[in-house]
Amino acid sequence: MIDTSKVAELSKVAKQMVAPGKGILAADESMKTVGKRFASIELENTEDNRRAFREMLLTVPGESDYISGVILHDETIRQTTKSGKTFVEILQTAGILPGIKVDLGLIDAGSEKLTSGLEGLGARLQEYVEFGAKFCKWRSVITIGESMPSEENIRQNAKDLAAYAFVCQEHGLVPMVEPEILLDGTHTIEQAEAASTQILTALFEELRAAGVALEGMILKTSMVLPGKDFGVKASPEQVAETTLRVFKKCLPSELAGEAFLSGGQGDVEATQNLNAINQDKNLPWPLTFSYARALQDAATKTWKGMPENLQAAQKVFLHRAKMNSLASLGTYSSDMEQPVAYDQDVTVSQD
């Protein structure tokens, strides 16, 4: 079990991460995924361009009004801005919590996937603590398909997530625990509900068995959605009803909070669904956002890697962050949206 005094500090940080009206920016994409995003704006995938991209996202004036924390990539936590300050210093000055992705990516497990990175995790975490990180993220990936997800895959991913979370808490870092159900596929929302229930039930069994303090961790999971190739999108009301039914069945009341991933949803779609979920005001946990593409995409396409577009791109980012902030409070309306000059049809999923 984690020391009581340490749990109190973890709980304090976790509450900051899901503070009312605030969410978490996922800026931890791998170099491969950033390359896909850059290809959509015809920008070369170099270290300097990646640094400029992260600087565009992390130096937005007023960002801390809506963003409580940022998940960084290993490359980014070591980089400095043009002014010579580290990205961690930039976030700390703004009152934003620095976080770090600590898994080492996906590995094949038959036709399914597991996540690597438990070996040597403690030493890596100690280094990230010295850099100033306050929380971590580990992502597992579940696919719905023929004979999937298997019970074996669900259970092993749950065990790995629990082992990661415990080591994080031992090092004084709040774990974000991310069992992502991929949007890829033709599955129905009912199939997604069944898989989500099975996954979250197994996850919390393993977290408890590992001695993880649930009040000092954040869940980052998918909304319950039909597959993108199913042919019919669920309404925000249906997404909310189904997602909350799973959560009320599976999530323990002591959990510090949930920060949804966008998982390939469109920018506005992710906001609308989050807003519908937060119409229920009698929940034991805050439900907010931890989006990557759904926060970044419009700003990236406005920026295009050009310094002269920086201010306009940051305004676009701030608007998207504000819309999701309102949605996390259940006070968003589509009337608040503003037109932006970019192609919303280009979608790049995070790997």
Closest alpha carbon to 93 in 59, 124, 119: 59
Q: Which residue has the tokens 């959509």?
A: 40
Q: Which amino acid is at 320?
A: R
Angle at 182 between CA 31 and CA 237, to 5 degrees: 125
- Active-site annotation holds for 178: yes
Catalytically annotated residue among 178, 193, 215, 258: 178
Residue type, 169: Q
DSSP per position, 62-95 = TGGGTEEEEEEPHHHHT-B-TTS-BHHHHHHHHT
Q: Is 220 a catalytic residue?
A: yes
The CA–CA distances, whole Å, from 164 to 155, 175, 270, 301, 327 equal: 14, 8, 28, 35, 30
- What is the C-alpha to C-alpha distance for residues 294 and 31, in angstroms, rounded to an integer? 18
Complete DSSP assignment for 16-47? HHT-TT-EEEEE---HHHHHHHHHHTT----H
CB atoms within 10 A of CB 53: 25
Catalytic pick from 134, 220, 228, 301? 220
Whole-angstrom distance, CA of residue 106 vs CA of residue 141: 8
Strand locations in 168-239 (E): 174-181, 218-219
What residues are annotated to the active site? Answer: 178, 220
